[in-house]
Structure 1
Amino acid sequence: MYNFGVTSTSQGAVIRNQQWDVRRLPRAEGKDFLVTGGNAGIGYFVAEQLAGTGATVILGSRDAAKAEAAMASIRSRVPGARVRHVRLDLADLSSLKSTVDELDRLDAVVCNAGVLLEEPGRRMARDGHELMFATNHLGHFALIGKLMPLLSGGRIVTTGSFTAKSARLDLGDLQSARDYRPKDTYARSKLAQMLCGFELDRRLRAAGSTTASVVNHPGGALDSLTPSRPPFHVRTTGRLLRGLPAGLLLQGKEAGAWPAVRAVLDPSVQGGQLWGPRVLGLRGEPRLETVRNLLADKELAGRVWDASVDLTGLDPLESRA
């Protein structure tokens, strides 16, 4: 399947035969990968890099025009790229079935799409849930459930956030009705998403499934350090110069995509793992991280899972093929 050698240890398969090279990815012809939010930001670069492996990459996006622009950009950089678009609105749970109906099979889904609102007013999604929690977490939670029959033996890759590591969850106020601060609410939504990514893998293993759930985060990924991809992202010289000091610790979104891409392609990656940038978890090539603190809290993850089932009316494992 992949042109990459592995050896096995008591902890499982790990790469020993060669180093992972973000510029020379293993081939993946015949594979189908769905990237939510693949039309912009980190999701775009995940899609562009995966397209370079020969796989078919499906961009899940609400906006068809933005998806077309992203696909045109990918094709201009990856000759013969196999890319297509499906309409996906994670903030509207009732629309997810029509999205899944457009898909036949998948080898991996990258749950990348997310929204970070900056205005102080709390906004609601169509289903009555707080918009960031609905889009970043609940929409992906429900989507995974509907995709599960298409993913037998595949990978579910959840892209969280470095900021989630310092977030705290109030199980009585998961949607920040009493304590709404945009950046904190965003971090909580990503923490919930990551916790459920780990919990999903535990439940898949308990059910004897060969599908794996892997969690990653992009570290600190800034627009000012991101290479241009006209028309949706143009990095000016001035913008680059202003961002250079931050480049000592942070990186652009092209590099921010590397952990997710490795989680999809690396045959040694295992379910339940966390992948992030090598340098302080903020920048650099992807490496395996230790799952610790709240991310390792199995009881909390189980309670967030149960709350998510209640809020979406769907348990992803009930849809397992």
Structure 2
Amino acid sequence: MSSVARVRSWDVHRLPAAGGRTFLVTGGNAGIGYFVAEQLAGTGATVVLGSRDAVKAEAALASIRARVPGAAVRHLRLDLAELGSLKASVDALGLDRLDGVVHNAGVALDHPPRQETKDGHELMFGVNHLGHFALTAWLAPLLEAAGSARIVTTGSFAAKSERLDLDDLQNVRDYDPERTYGRSKLAQILFALELDRRLRAAGSTALSVIAHPGGALDGLTPSRPPVHVRTTGERLRALPLGLFVQGKEAGAWPAVRALLDPEVRGGQMWGPRMFELRGRPRNAPLWKHLTDTDVAAGLWEASRELAGVEPEF
């Protein structure tokens, strides 16, 4: 079947059934993560929302259940800013296998000063990258037990113009909130690619895939009270932008496809079709600097030392 036919055969509104499978979505209580969880719940899968805020998670669960009758959803307390807590969180899953995880949770700061996690890591690098790196390490046995698991990492256009300094991953010398966020997302993407190379070398059947949402705005996102409430004014102001970008419901489509589509392969990046900003998901070409395997391997080694654990399959 041609690649064009495959793209056309994937219907974002008629997803394949996934009953009997279990997925974890980090940051599934809000934003794009919420819509990933809602869409997955509609397939019959069991969906676990990883969130440190139990109140927000319960609101998200109630919203999903109201829209998806019989949805199998639950909350897992997960704090990616506290690496030492992650093993206990994984143990609390109470699972003997996990069919997939969407590394979606993230922190984006708008203003200085530089902040740190409880472990002393720069906050955005520590949560967005190191937290997911360590979480993958603890999830590895469950993912391997599933036989054909997917590890989907959420990328961002913010990473396209950034480069990593392996001697200053914590952005001590060169801290700017916007640049630091972009670098944390670049670290996530490079980790996902290096992870897939290691999975292939180990003969694992698990796949590591990148998904990026394109341009996803609150004003174009349908309301899901109380998780997200869009006013009429916000919708009207955002309508002209709908020619170029989309809402967070559509921003979830690449991650959902990366998780469910049997045509997806490890090491791919899935994003919106139209200028990588909006539209239905497709396999997008990797940006040139993402192919630097030396930087990815160096990041892996540094992350292993900083996190104190390493994903092994």
TM beyond 0.5? yes
Aligned pair in 2 of structure 1 residues 149, 175: CA closer, same or farther (>3 Å)?
same
1:167 has 2:162 as partner: yes
Alignment of 1:1-321 (within 5 A): 16=6, 19-103=9-93, 104=95, 105-152=97-144, 153-317=148-312, 320=313
Indicate conservation of the 8 Å contact 1:29/1:53, yes or no.
yes
Residues 284-315 of structure 1: per-residue CA shift (max 9 Å, x gap): 10000111311111111111111111111111
Indicate conservation of the 8 Å contact 2:23/2:100, yes or no.
yes
Residues 230-269 of structure 1: per-residue CA shift (max 9 Å, x gap): 1121100101111122211111100000000000110111
Indicate conservation of the 8 Å contact 1:14/1:268, yes or no.
no
**Structure 1 stretch displaced more, 301-310 or 125-134:** 301-310
Amino acid across the alignment from 1:117: L
Indicate conservation of the 8 Å contact 2:163/2:183, yes or no.
yes
Amino acid across the alignment from 1:150: L
Structure 1 length-normalised TM: 0.93
Give distance in 2, aligned partners of 1:15 and 1:139: 38
Give distance in 1, aligned partners of 2:5 and 2:180: 37
Shift of the alpha carbon at 1:178? 1.1
Tell me what 1:3 maps to. none
Indicate conservation of the 8 Å contact 1:15/1:268, yes or no.
no
Structure 2 length-normalised TM: 0.96
Shift of the alpha carbon at 1:16? 4.3
Aligned pair in 2 of structure 1 residues 269, 229: CA closer, same or farther (>3 Å)?
same
Amino acid across the alignment from 1:20: W
Equivalenced residue count is: 308
Residues 195-244 of structure 1: per-residue CA shift (max 9 Å, x gap): 01000000010011111101110011111111101112110010111112
Aligned pair in 2 of structure 1 residues 306, 17: CA closer, same or farther (>3 Å)?
closer
Shift of the alpha carbon at 1:91? 0.5
1:86 is paired with a residue of what secondary structure?
Answer: strand
Indicate conservation of the 8 Å contact 1:14/1:269, yes or no.
no
Amino acid across the alignment from 2:114: R
Give distance in 1, aligned partners of 2:67 and 2:47: 14
Tell me what 1:4 maps to. none
Give distance in 2, aligned partners of 1:110 and 1:232: 19
Give distance in 2, aligned partners of 1:39 and 1:93: 20
Shift of the alpha carbon at 1:119? 2.3
Indicate conservation of the 8 Å contact 2:63/2:227, yes or no.
no
Residues 14-55 of structure 1: per-residue CA shift (max 9 Å, x gap): 964961000000000000000000000000000000000000
Gaps of 5+ in 2: none
1:188 is paired with a residue of what secondary structure?
Answer: helix
Residues 131-172 of structure 1: per-residue CA shift (max 9 Å, x gap): 111110000000000000000221100011111111121111
Give distance in 2, aligned partners of 1:170 and 1:231: 41
Give distance in 1, aligned partners of 2:21 and 2:160: 32
Give distance in 1, aligned partners of 2:251 and 2:100: 19
Aligned pair in 2 of structure 1 residues 145, 15: CA closer, same or farther (>3 Å)?
farther
Gaps of 5+ in 1: 1-6
**Structure 1 stretch displaced more, 164-173 or 257-266:** 164-173
Give distance in 2, aligned partners of 1:220 and 1:16: 24
Shift of the alpha carbon at 1:59? 0.2
Aligned pair in 2 of structure 1 residues 50, 169: CA closer, same or farther (>3 Å)?
same
Shift of the alpha carbon at 1:75? 0.4
Amino acid across the alignment from 1:110: V
Amino acid across the alignment from 1:161: S
Percent identity of the aligned residues? 68
